[in-house]
């Protein structure tokens, strides 16, 4: 099989990317604007020997993919804001029990049922902080249909590598966008498999990290018998409530991610040489910002653009590096201002950070960003 150019929808590219990454289990509850992912997976997984399950709700969906992953299948679910809210409970379970899986949240406008189903980028903080307790999450945001495919593959790889759930969060505009995609040949994109234990069954400790911060896994049904729990646990996977262990374990859930930022964080720069104003954004807003920055450059303004492909962990180092050479920063986003606070945290009070916040169920247009660039430049 060779590379192939096809005309495809963002949600379709997510489903195909999941199959490419080796996903063979999907459990979900249909919701616009993500339903195409369920529809395509229901057909494609049957074709490739996998399983599609339509669950009774999103609580069960998230639980089922966690169980299936421990039975050895790469697993995913897809949803939108209202369903993503319901998934938070068992997303926390998957984080605590360190179970790889991918959750796709095609972002729509809220709160609650909201503007069904107009686009938004308002789940950024929910993805980061939606669960109770301390934990870290990896979240990725595609800006093109090509990225929908490639970042789905990457989401699975990061999930397997770091033994943790990963959230892929296209906004509705990207999920429903159709454009040309170059589908990679098998083997062309890196597909990471989880580290599996191969030693003595009696010596297996399912939660004892090795030098790379990650404990090797086993599959239910293999010769390695293991115990998983949502409760605080030690290396053996049984409840363990002593303070030293709790402090270590809670720290570990964040450390295993924050110790490997170089492996996780991906950004893309446009027009960032000799720059005075930096635009930082993600998802569909990158497309509008690209056009606005291009026009600003034509008009003699030294504007540049940073696309955050990885939303979480936040790209602190890259933003610090680029901010060092500019006079101001503009953060357009389809919400009342979520990413902008992270940017302000990084660059400090001295640097003017302007927000272009739009929360009306509409995409941000290039002209709006260009107008704002002119205003703050």
Q: Decide if 336 contacts 343 (C-beta within 8 A).
A: no
Stretch that binds another protein, among 32-40, 55-63, 250-258, 309-317 (CB under 8 A): 55-63
Would you call 27 helix, strand, or coil by DSSP? strand
Q: What angle do CA 13, 14, 20 make, to 5 degrees?
A: 85
Q: Could you say whether residue 126 binds another protein (CB under 8 A)?
A: no
357 backbone dihedrals φ, ψ, rounded to 5°: -105, 125
Cβ-based nearer residue to another protein, 20 or 312: 20
Q: Could you say whether residue 21 binds another protein (CB under 8 A)?
A: no
Q: Could you say whether residue 199 binds another protein (CB under 8 A)?
A: no
**Residue 374 to residue 76: CA distance in whole angstroms:** 43
Cβ-based nearer residue to another protein, 61 or 146: 61
Cβ-based nearer residue to another protein, 87 or 286: 87
Q: Which of 147, 139, 138 is nearest to 175 (CA)?
A: 147
**Residue 286 to residue 292: CA distance in whole angstroms:** 10
Stretch that binds another protein, among 63-71, 173-181, 254-262, 283-291 (CB under 8 A): 63-71
Q: Could you say whether residue 13 binds another protein (CB under 8 A)?
A: no
Stretch that binds another protein, among 58-66, 317-325, 344-352, 361-369 (CB under 8 A): 58-66
Q: Could you say whether residue 2 binds another protein (CB under 8 A)?
A: no
Residues 6+ apart with CB under 8 A from 155: 21, 102, 138, 140, 166, 167, 168
Cβ-based nearer residue to another protein, 132 or 273: 132
* Extended beta strands in 248-346, E state: 267-270, 277-281, 303-308, 310-312, 328-333
52 backbone dihedrals φ, ψ, rounded to 5°: -115, 130
Q: Could you say whether residue 130 binds another protein (CB under 8 A)?
A: no
Q: How far is the CB of 195 from another protein (least distance, A)?
A: 19
Cβ-based nearer residue to another protein, 60 or 370: 60
**Choice from 14, 21, 27, 148 touching another protein (CB under 8 A):** 27
- Helices of type H across 117-202: 124-129, 145-162, 172-176
Beta bridge partners of 325: none
Cβ-based nearer residue to another protein, 65 or 322: 65
Q: Decide if 166 contacts 194 (C-beta within 8 A).
A: no
**Residue 368 to residue 227: CA distance in whole angstroms:** 54
Q: Could you say whether residue 6 binds another protein (CB under 8 A)?
A: no
**Residue 125 to residue 114: CA distance in whole angstroms:** 17
**Residue 290 to residue 311: CA distance in whole angstroms:** 18
Kindly state the DSSP code that residue 364 receives in the 8-state scheme.
P
**Choice from 39, 195, 229, 376 touching another protein (CB under 8 A):** 229
Tokens found for residue 263: 């492996």
Q: How far is the CB of 48 from another protein (least distance, A)?
A: 4
Cβ-based nearer residue to another protein, 3 or 132: 132
Q: How far is the CB of 93 from another protein (least distance, A)?
A: 5
Q: Could you say whether residue 19 binds another protein (CB under 8 A)?
A: yes
Q: Could you say whether residue 60 binds another protein (CB under 8 A)?
A: yes
**Residue 339 to residue 333: CA distance in whole angstroms:** 8
Q: Could you say whether residue 185 binds another protein (CB under 8 A)?
A: no
Stretch that binds another protein, among 116-124, 220-228, 247-255, 305-313 (CB under 8 A): 220-228
Q: Could you say whether residue 238 binds another protein (CB under 8 A)?
A: yes
Q: Could you say whether residue 341 binds another protein (CB under 8 A)?
A: no
Q: Could you say whether residue 63 binds another protein (CB under 8 A)?
A: yes
Q: Could you say whether residue 49 binds another protein (CB under 8 A)?
A: yes
Which residues inside 69-98 make contact with another protein, applying CB under 8 A? 69-73, 75, 89-90, 92-93
Residue-by-residue DSSP string for 10-70: HHHHHHHHHHHTT--EEEE---TTTHHHHHHHHHHHHHTT-EEEE-SSHHHHHHHHHHHHH
**Residue 122 to residue 137: CA distance in whole angstroms:** 16
Q: How far is the CB of 54 from another protein (least distance, A)?
A: 9
Q: Can you give the binding site for another protein, defined by CB under 8 A?
A: 19, 25, 27, 44, 46-49, 51, 53, 55-57, 59-61, 63-73, 75, 89-90, 92-93, 219-231, 238-239
């Amino acid at each position: 099989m060779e590379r192939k150019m096809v005309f495809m929808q963002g949600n379709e590219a997510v489903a195909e990317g999941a199959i490419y990454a080796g996903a063979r289990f999907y459990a979900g509850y249909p919701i616009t604007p993500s339903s195409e992912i369920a529809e395509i997976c229901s057909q494609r997984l049957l074709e490739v020997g996998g399983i599609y399950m339509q669950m009774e709700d999103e609580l069960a969906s998230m639980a089922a993919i966690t169980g299936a992953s421990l039975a050895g299948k790469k697993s995913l679910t897809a949803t939108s804001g209202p369903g993503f809210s319901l998934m938070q409970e068992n997303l926390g379970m998957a984080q605590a029990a360190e179970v790889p899986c991918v959750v796709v949240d095609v972002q729509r406008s809220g709160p609650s049922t909201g503007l069904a189903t107009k686009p938004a980028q308002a789940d950024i903080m929910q993805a980061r902080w939606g669960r109770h307790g301390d934990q870290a999450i990896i979240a990725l945001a595609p800006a093109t249909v090509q990225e929908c495919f490639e970042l789905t593959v990457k989401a699975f790889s990061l999930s397997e590598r770091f033994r943790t759930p990963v959230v892929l969060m296209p906004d509705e505009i990207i999920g429903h966008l159709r454009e040309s995609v170059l589908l990679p040949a098998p083997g062309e994109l890196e597909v990471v498999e989880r580290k599996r234990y191969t030693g003595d069954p009696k010596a297996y400790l399912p939660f004892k990290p090795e030098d790379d911060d990650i404990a090797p896994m086993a599959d239910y049904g293999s010769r390695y018998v293991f115990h998983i729990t949502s409760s605080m646990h030690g290396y053996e996977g049984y409840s363990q409530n002593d303070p030293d262990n709790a402090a270590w374990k809670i720290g570990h859930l964040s450390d295993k991610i924050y110790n490997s930022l170089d492996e996780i964080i991906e950004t893309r720069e446009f027009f960032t040489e000799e720059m005075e104003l930096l635009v930082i954004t993600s998802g569909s807003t990158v497309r509008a910002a690209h056009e606005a920055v291009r026009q600003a450059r034509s008009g003699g303004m030294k504007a540049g653009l940073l696309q955050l492909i990885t939303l979480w962990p936040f790209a602190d180092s890259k933003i610090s590096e680029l901010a060092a050479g500019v006079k101001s920063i503009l953060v357009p986003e389809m919400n009342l201002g979520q990413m902008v606070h992270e940017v302000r945290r990084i660059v400090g009070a001295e640097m003017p950070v302007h927000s272009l916040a739009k929360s009306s169920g509409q995409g941000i247009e290039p002209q709006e960003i260009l107008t704002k660039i002119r205003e703050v430049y």
